[in-house]
Structure 1
Amino acid sequence: MQQHRALRVISAHHRGLPDSGRASSCSRGLRSRDALTGLLQTQQSVGPAAHELRGLRSFSVAQTSATAPQSRGGKMYRSIVRLTSVVLVSAAVAAASPAFASGEPAKGSVGITAGTLGIGPEAGVALGNSFAVRSNVTFFNLSHDFDSDEIGYSGEARFRSVGLMVDYHVGGSGFFVSAGARLNKNHAHAYATPTTLTEIGDEDYTPTEVGTLHAHADFKPIAPTLSLGYSGHLTKGLKLGIEAGAMFEGALRVKSLTASNNGVDPADLEAERRSLEEDVAKYKVYPILQLTAGYHF
């Protein structure tokens, strides 16, 4: 239909021209008619494909909308991984860079440390640009409730230790590995006050006979340590650091268990002490995670 209307327009225009113009116009009209016919045929052949393409595009948009939360989550995860990788690589390059290590060599340091060992002062002596000796004193209290043989205890751990470590700064960089030992004065107390008939050892005791149970425990006096971390180069200035590792203090030793009312057989108290010690014996390695701030001079 569109083709017939176009031909009528071309014919009408052709009749209104002189003979010379008609010949030229006719030639142009034939070319226009051929072009128009080709265009209509192309439109007819491409139409279904274009319609199909529009359908596929709509389906694709719908699929993208349906999976948008997953896509955003994946992009966020990848961004976090990339950012972490960039930070780690930048830190490693900076630590290895000679320009980054520029500065006047330090002879010693003073500062403060805080973390799982507790909080306290720290001091060190630099031995060149790769080795240093550090010492710190830490204090920390922690309360914790637990059960042993169906007796509920309220425990309090008191962390008191003095450490001496030798640090090796890898290649003179800010990254270090450390080995040392701590004078381990960590100890714990636990209390239990039964309110019903309670089995201690092989016998049952009333609350009046028991009163309050008191357990005292400690660790080996010397505990080796291994750690690694970052504290900046051994040059003068303000330094921030982080250290992670382990203290090998061995199992907690329950030294004594007493009953305040003296109504419990000592043999049953000894049996309960051994049972309590077995319950806590699995904790032999204590994690180290410390943050430090200090000045190197």
Structure 2
Amino acid sequence: MDTEAQHTERDSSSQPLTGPEEKSRSARFSGRFWPRAGVLAVVCVAVVLLVSHFVVQPFLIPSGSMEPTLRVGDRVLVDKLAYRFGSVPHRGDVVVFDGTGSFVQEKPRENPVTGLLRGAAAAVGLAEPAGTDFVKRVIGVGGDRVVCCDEGGRVEVNGRAVDEPYVYAGDAPSRVPFDIVVPEGTLWVMGDHRDNSRDSRDHLGEPGGGVVPVDRVVGRVRWTAWPPGRWSALRPTDAFEDVGGAAGAVPPPDAVRAPGSGQGRRDDAHG
């Protein structure tokens, strides 16, 4: 028996295909791969957008109004389930909210296609948020009386002075005097960089009274995810732990800002 010949024949059959047959197989593989890759890409994008819409949304910090807690260019993760199941914002929480009707009287007009693309990019933290989205710290909740300031220059909540370690170094807790009882179902919010933040203080005399409806809150800021050197969870503050409930809060005689009190602070569109 010619075993060498058989061996040679087996070897030749095991060689890689070349010529038209190999090209045909490659074409069939390519024809199957790209449609599947396209479907997988669409599914991945859909999952990311759904998670961003309902669970956790990346949010690009566009201004310095929350320094030093949050810096310009930080990407934070907003927990959109934080207030979904009966929980409500608490004093000290850092929240993202839709300021339409409180900080902004109407949404700015934009091209629908441009708006859709910008919204999709903002949903994954690649673009600045909408001009109606803001990030601030909750200082007072419904029923609280918030006053500025006591003899030591500190903000008072329900008659208790609050030491605020998160306020930007060199800033006063507020250079604007105010005295307000926060309506039920709303929040009084301020930026940590008090001298560089347009917040509830600046909108007292406008429709909405400077307070933010709780149902306009998008979620609570939980983590700083970018840049890598800033990875961290946002620690809760104990600044308000000695502040009691709002029971017995006395309405202020005149809950308006001092004239011209809005001067000197930069107009941060989304800060």
TM-score of the two chains, using structure 2 as the length reference: 0.25
* Higher RCO structure, 1 or 2 (CA under 8 Å, sep 6+): 2
**Largest Rg, 1 or 2:** 1
Relative to its length, the structure with more strand (as a share) is 1
Relative to its length, the structure with more helix (as a share) is 1
